[in-house]
């Protein structure tokens, strides 16, 4: 029986302490498949490409994770870890429909919903009138409604900011909820391993360990000046996050930062000529995607890039300033990227990085190009490839 606790009361005054919920659907694609086909429940299941086509696991259920199967793992490797693994192809239309219904439930509680993907979103419920303004009760009700109305489970984290809410949502997965109250922030963050900080990968973690830093509490012994000297601008983020500080707002209209397309090839591309041939359909797809995006929002290109993943799984990206997608410039970037290792290519992608909205508006004040020219014309000036 679903208990709805919605209570309407006069609008609450905004507080300096925010109430943020991070909602994350549990093994989303796999959960949709298990919902629609109950015979898949209780067995190791992955959604992704087939191993004979060099497929990759997009997501998997918890039965598969018990064998060590993980997202982004090659399907062939996943089958070695779990020979009974059932791998099925994704059906994006069903996932999109489930996502649409979940996001609609979120928006019943606040207009401040920032989707991060089909299955993940931040909600700012600071001024919400529902559940007498209790973020904990709102999160509990949302989870109950998604289960009852969509047939899926959602884990939630409730906290005073986005950083802590996201960590909290993972604390009691699957189908769980964890609340970090303002008075608990300092102690909660202090014991977190530094690897839980967004942007701290293996290399940065090793550098921090060399300084005697294993936890966020350890990191607090270093000043901002020390951290910025060692890690550049990222040092400021380290200084703030290890203290539980995150002033980012929930942004419903989060700006699109890039548009790209990519393909993993069933047969390695062994020469630059083969790569150039494969680039042409990618460019057509990219132009079509940009055109579709421009129907709903104004976009201005700032850079174009080509990314490569070699057969040994190493990666490289070449990019340059641009005002549009110029095939000749993309071929130059491709040659630059391929030439860095001269190994067979397994994956290739091409894309554009977009200007921030204000810079784009200023550019359009002086821009008399038509849309077609902006998409295909080569930009003036020096566009030497740069490594990213």
Annotated catalytic residues are 120
| Residue 121, pLDDT score | 95
| Residue 258, pLDDT score | 85
Which residues belong to the annotated binding site for Mg(2+)? Answer: 24, 119
Nearest to 371 by CA among 283, 302, 291, 304: 291
User: Hey, is 2 helix, strand or coil?
Assistant: coil
Q: How many helices (H) and strands (E) does the chain have?
A: 15, 13
| Residue 379, pLDDT score | 33
Mean pLDDT per 10-residue interval, the chain, length 388 residues = 40 65 97 98 94 87 97 92 96 92 95 90 94 96 98 98 96 96 97 92 91 97 95 93 95 78 90 95 91 70 92 92 87 95 93 68 36 33 35
Domains defined for the chain, CATH in brackets: 25-92 (3.40.1170.60), 95-242 (3.30.70.270), 258-364 (3.30.1490.100)
Start-end of H helices in the chain: 28-36, 62-65, 75-81, 92-107, 135-149, 162-169, 185-190, 202-210, 216-219, 224-231, 234-241, 272-294, 327-339, 357-365, 371-376
151: left (phi over 0), alpha (psi -120 to 50) or beta: left
- Give the global pTM: 0.67
């Amino acid at each position: 029986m679903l208990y709805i606790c919605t209570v309407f009361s006069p609008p609450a005054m905004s507080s300096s302490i925010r109430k943020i919920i991070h909602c994350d659907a549990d093994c989303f694609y796999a959960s949709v498949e298990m919902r629609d086909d109950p015979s898949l429940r209780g067995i190791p299941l992955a959604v992704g490409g087939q191993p004979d086509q060099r497929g990759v696991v997009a997501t998997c259920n918890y039965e598969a994770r018990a064998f060590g199967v993980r997202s982004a793992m090659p399907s062939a490797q996943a089958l070695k870890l779990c020979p009974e693994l059932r791998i099925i192809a994704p059906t994006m239309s069903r996932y999109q429909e489930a996502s649409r219904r979940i996001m609609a439930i979120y928006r019943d509680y606040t207009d401040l919903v920032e989707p991060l993907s089909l299955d993940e979103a931040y909600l700012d419920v600071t001024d919400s009138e529902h559940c007498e303004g209790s973020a904990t009760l709102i999160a509990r009700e949302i989870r109950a409604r998604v289960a009852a109305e969509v047939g899926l489970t959602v884990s939630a984290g409730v906290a005073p900011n986005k950083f802590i809410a996201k960590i909290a949502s993972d604390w009691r997965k699957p189908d769980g909820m964890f609340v970090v109250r303002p008075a608990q922030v300092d102690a909660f963050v202090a014991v977190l391993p530094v690897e839980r900080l967004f942007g701290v990968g293996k290399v940065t973690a090793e550098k921090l360990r060399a300084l005697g830093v294993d936890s966020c509490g350890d990191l607090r012994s270093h000043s901002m000046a020390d951290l910025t000297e060692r890690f550049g601008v990222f040092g400021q983020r380290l200084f703030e996050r290890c203290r539980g500080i995150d002033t980012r707002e929930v942004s419903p209209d989060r700006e699109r930062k890039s548009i790209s397309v990519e393909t993993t090839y069933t047969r390695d591309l062994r020469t630059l000529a083969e790569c150039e041939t494969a680039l042409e359909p990618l460019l057509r797809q990219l132009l079509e995607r940009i055109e579709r995006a421009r129907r709903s929002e104004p976009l201005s290109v700032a850079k174009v890039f080509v990314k490569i993943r070699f057969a040994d799984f190493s990666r490289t990206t070449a990019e340059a300033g641009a005002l549009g997608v110029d095939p000749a410039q993309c071929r130059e970037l491709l040659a630059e990227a391929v030439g860095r290792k001269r190994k067979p290519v397994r994956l290739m992608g091409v894309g554009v990085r977009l200007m921030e909205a204000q810079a784009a508006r200023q550019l359009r004040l002086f821009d008399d190009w038509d849309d077609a020219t902006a998409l295909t014309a080569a930009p003036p000036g020096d566009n030497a490839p740069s490594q990213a």
